[in-house]
Amino acid sequence: MGQIIQNLLMFYALMEYSSDSIVFKEYFRDEKGGYTGGNFVSVSNEKARHYGMTPAQMKGKTDQDLLPSAEAAKSLKDDLWVMTHKRAIRDIRETITHPNGETVSVSVTKFPWFNQGGDIFGVICIARDISRRVEAEKQTDQLSEFLMRDMFQPLASIHSLIQNLESTPENKRIKKVYSQVFAKLCNIR
């Protein structure tokens, strides 16, 4: 199998089966040296599925055609930054709204797309749904807040009281055990 065919088959497999939303966007230089366009040249099945279309139906569309205006403006700003600086942006957390109103948290990576001559002519964007991860982080934060508010603060009050107990052999033992427990709890934070 020739190298070109093998590369095409790998590209096809990536665009067909990846669970990430992948889009290749084409831009053109305008007379002022800026960029215009942003038309989709190729999109993954996952990206098309989010919009209820096929990859072929998505060809030629732009973020402005599909996203709410604020999200489309942010995407364009990021694309222009990538092309101007010829550098990638990685793992930027964003919230995307799909046409059905569903909002999802995504991790976005964008990088420049160069032609064989080394000129930049577009951006490749990969967005991974991280909604479950974001929800788990929120739950972890809520649990930490609960532990601090409802468990740690009362224990700190008890710790203070125990430290002020008069010095009897029994109280010394209580202080020692409680101090060890309290120190371990402090390290959990």
Q: How far apart are CA 145 and CA 153, in angstroms?
A: 11
Identify whether residues 94 and 156 lie together within a single domain.
no
Identify whether residues 56 and 108 lie together within a single domain.
yes
Identify whether residues 88 and 158 lie together within a single domain.
no
Q: How far apart are CA 159 and CA 182, in angstroms?
A: 7
- Tens-digit pLDDT profile for residues 57-93: 999 999 999 999 999 999 999 999 999 999 999 999 9
Identify whether residues 105 and 147 lie together within a single domain.
no
Q: What is the pTM of this model?
A: 0.73
- Tens-digit pLDDT profile for residues 131-155: 988 888 888 888 878 777 776 677 6
Identify whether residues 125 and 177 lie together within a single domain.
no
Q: How far apart are CA 33 and CA 175, in angstroms?
A: 73
Residue 106's contacts (CB-CB under 8 Å, 6 or more residues apart) are 21, 93, 94, 95, 96, 127, 128, 129, 130
Tell me the backbone φ, ψ of residue 101, rounded to 5 degrees.
90, -10
CATH at residue 120: 3.30.450.20
Q: How many CB atoms are located within 10 Å of the residue 96 CB? A: 20
Domain of residue 182 covers: 135-188
Identify whether residues 105 and 176 lie together within a single domain.
no
Report how many domains make up the chain. 2
Identify whether residues 113 and 149 lie together within a single domain.
no
